[in-house]
Amino acid sequence: MSRILIIEDEESIAALEKDYLELSDFEVDIETDGRKGLKKALTEEYDLYILDLMLPGTDGFEICREIREIKEVPILMVTARSDDIDKIRGLGLGADDYITKPFSPSELVARVKAHLTRYDRLVGSGTRKNTVIEIRGLKIDKTARRVWVNGRETQFTTKEFDLLTFLAEHPDHVYKKEELFREIWNMESIGDIATVTVHIKKIREKIEYDTSKPQYIETIWGVGYRFKA
């Protein structure tokens, strides 16, 4: 559920906005004082802000500027005079939209929805999404370096994680122990390639139901290992 903060000193307008937004399943908080509103805006998490321009304490210009310094979520400015819109634009405060009083509450709700959808798309297509590999009961979040086996989070050491992820990213490919050693331990394979065997064993104990009949990492005798697609 998206959370919205309204900073508006006219209580009847704030209450009307809140009512309409709640009917559309938004969670809404109201602050009627600019200074308190700014504090709440900066310290709590909201998905969108609706700011009145003229407020006691701190005005909407300043609140918008300060929110924008640390947050990228949509900001809607509400003004009593249409010529204020040019002023807001001219100041380059980073507000996403402007609405002039009096406005229809359903128009406000429509704009809120449009901005949230646009913002979701922006964030969703960005780099913030984690890279996740899912193969049958195994889920690897590469970004967070977390692994779930049949829905249960399981701890892996750094090298175990690297080895498992590397194999899972290259299914149906047979790797020699020497190749895996070079890939994961990042040095020439003059070291002990038995390290690979030890790590495969530990990974299997964590991900396989029956380590004698591996469903994920197969042993290709005399060659190496293959991750089953």
The site for Ca ion (CB under 5 A) is made up of 9, 52, 54
Q: Residues 54, 60: contact at Cβ < 8 Å? A: yes
Compute the least distance from the CB of residue 101 to Ca ion, in Å. 9
Residue 47 or residue 52: which is nearer to Ca ion going by CB?
Answer: 52
Residue 67 or residue 207: which is nearer to Ca ion going by CB?
Answer: 67
Compute the least distance from the CB of residue 59 to Ca ion, in Å. 9
Q: Residues 102, 143: contact at Cβ < 8 Å? A: no
Nearest-CB residue for Ca ion? 54
Residue 54 or residue 149: which is nearer to Ca ion going by CB?
Answer: 54
Residue 12 or residue 158: which is nearer to Ca ion going by CB?
Answer: 12
Compute the least distance from the CB of residue 102 to Ca ion, in Å. 13
Compute the least distance from the CB of residue 112 to Ca ion, in Å. 19
Residue 220 φ/ψ, nearest 5 degrees: -105, 105
- Exposure of 229 in the CB half-sphere (CA atoms within 13 A): 5
Compute the least distance from the CB of residue 31 to Ca ion, in Å. 12
Residue 51 or residue 164: which is nearer to Ca ion going by CB?
Answer: 51
